[in-house]
Amino acid sequence: MKKNPQTALIHAPRKAPQYISTVQPPLFRASTIIFDNTDALFNRHWTDDYDYSYGTHGTPTTFTLGDNIAQIEGGTYSLLAPSGLSAINLVNSCFLSQGDEVWVADNIYGPNMEHLRNLETRYGIRVQVYNPIDVATFQPTEKAKLLWLEAAGSVTLEFPDLTGLVKKAQAHNILTALDNTWGAGLAFNAFDFGDEHLSVDISVHALTKYPSGGGDILMGSVVTRDKKLHHQLFRAHAIQGISVSGDDVAQVQRSLASMQLRYQHQSQSCLTLLDWLKQQPEFVQVLHPADEASAGHEYWKEICSDGQSAGLVSVIFKPEYTLKDIRAFCDALQLFKLGFSWGGPVSLVMLYNLSDMRVLAHTHLQQGLLVRFCIGLEHPADLIQDIENALKQLNTQKLE
């Protein structure tokens, strides 16, 4: 058929080949997906893992990354979301209904708690808080539906009693969802951990951190091993219109190849900083699960048996250091940039006032303002020098 130029511009003569071999998988961008014929249109079914019918349901690009994340984490099925927080919210909105009870650790990622408090006010979902290192504080009633876990907590870095908590949840028929961002599927296997080969039901991962690795892309995933759970999530994902950009997915896919190397490097650099930070007189406490003095260290040792941990370490300044002092310290840092998130190439610092962040009384945390360091890919000696310079500046100012 001879085409007018306007049509020819849209229907190009060369068709992309079905398959050529490249290092990175091909990138599909799609809202519309074109069916071969009406048979293909009428025979599609949303429960097919690879039902290509519309962009929000997924493309080969999104399924490729999803399968990779599921594999890294030891799960089977995966869904992608536009941020880690939206992946968390997908789980909450999928499994919680009016009158249900949800249990969250006191050190849970703050915006997850905020989302649940919002559901509590609007829909009468009961939010209960437990101490992650004390299973006895997890006291579910028959209304309990969901237990949120985080290993380790991303600010105070307590490693929870995963074994005790998951066993208790299973005994009460409660779904377990782990925010697996810290472990990234590398420090431990959330679907097969400890001597008893326990498994969580759902693993949520902020791919924004280590999988992206660039500090420039937001994304999240929800991984399961159970087909029924996956289909429940898949349905909620579809009706809520949750989808991700093919371009962003391709970027994360490209970064996956170096993820384990980056994780190991940051884990190691962080341990070097931990040793040095522990010797500094300005801090009343240094928090890192690999440190024997940190709460939950024995659980970390049991679960993360290869000795791995994310590149996060927190310090609590002695109470004589005021908020003004801590702000001056953070402002004096040169290499550590002030910003939220972690897992990227640039080291980050953030300050927190724990008294605004915790519901339960915690005897394992000292009084004082907390600063969290997220270790990037810089040389650890330069990072130590940066902190040393900022501490010197702080102490000089304090004497003036």
* Residue appearing with tokens 């693993």: 203
Q: Are 127 and 116 in contact (CB under 8 A)?
A: yes
Residue 89 or 321: which CB sits closer to ligand PLP?
89
Closest CA to 80 of 105, 110, 60, 103: 60
Token pair in block for residue 105: 């650790």
- 181 near ligand PLP, judged by CB under 6 A: yes
What would the 3-class secondary structure string for 342-382 be? CCCCCCEEEEECHHHCCCCCCCCCCCCCEEEEECCCCCHHH
Cα distances from 115 to residues 91, 127, 145, 335, 348, in angstroms, run 11, 10, 16, 33, 25
Segment near ligand PLP (CB under 6 A), from 52-60, 62-70, 83-91, 267-275?
Answer: 83-91
Shortest separation between residue 141's beta carbon and ligand PLP, angstroms:
27
Residue 76 or 83: which CB sits closer to ligand PLP?
83
Residue 57 or 209: which CB sits closer to ligand PLP?
209
Compose the 92-111 pattern: x for residues touching ligand PLP by CB under 6 A, - for all others.
Answer: -----------------x--
- 349 near ligand PLP, judged by CB under 6 A: no
Q: Are 398 and 325 in contact (CB under 8 A)?
A: yes
In the set 53, 83, 93, 255, which binds ligand PLP (CB under 6 A)? 83
The kind and range of the H/E element at 224 are strand 220-224
In the set 30, 85, 249, 369, which binds ligand PLP (CB under 6 A)? 85
Shortest separation between residue 311's beta carbon and ligand PLP, angstroms:
13
- 84 near ligand PLP, judged by CB under 6 A: yes
Residue 75 or 220: which CB sits closer to ligand PLP?
220
242 alpha-carbon distance from chain centroid:
18
Segment near ligand PLP (CB under 6 A), from 23-31, 81-89, 238-246, 304-312?
Answer: 81-89
The Cα–Cα gap between 238 and 375 comes to 36
Shortest separation between residue 219's beta carbon and ligand PLP, angstroms:
7
- 180 near ligand PLP, judged by CB under 6 A: no
The Cα–Cα gap between 339 and 374 comes to 10
Residue 220 or 311: which CB sits closer to ligand PLP?
220
- Beta partners for residue 129, in sequence order: 104
- Nearest-5° angle of CA 332, CA 335, CA 340? 90
Point out the residue whose Cβ comes nearest to ligand PLP.
84
In the set 163, 341, 389, 393, which binds ligand PLP (CB under 6 A)? 341
Shortest separation between residue 344's beta carbon and ligand PLP, angstroms:
11
- 161 near ligand PLP, judged by CB under 6 A: no
In the set 59, 154, 156, 267, which binds ligand PLP (CB under 6 A)? 154
- 179 near ligand PLP, judged by CB under 6 A: yes
304, HSE (Cβ side, Cα atoms, 13 Å): 25
- 348 near ligand PLP, judged by CB under 6 A: no
> Exposure of 233 by Cβ count < 10 A (0-12 exposed, 13-18 middle, 19+ buried)?
buried
- 118 near ligand PLP, judged by CB under 6 A: no
Q: Are 223 and 73 in contact (CB under 8 A)?
A: yes
- 314 near ligand PLP, judged by CB under 6 A: no
Quote the longest CA-to-CA distance of the chain.
86
The Cα–Cα gap between 211 and 362 comes to 33
Interface residues with ligand PLP (CB under 6 A)?
83-85, 109, 154, 179, 181, 206, 208, 218, 220, 340-341
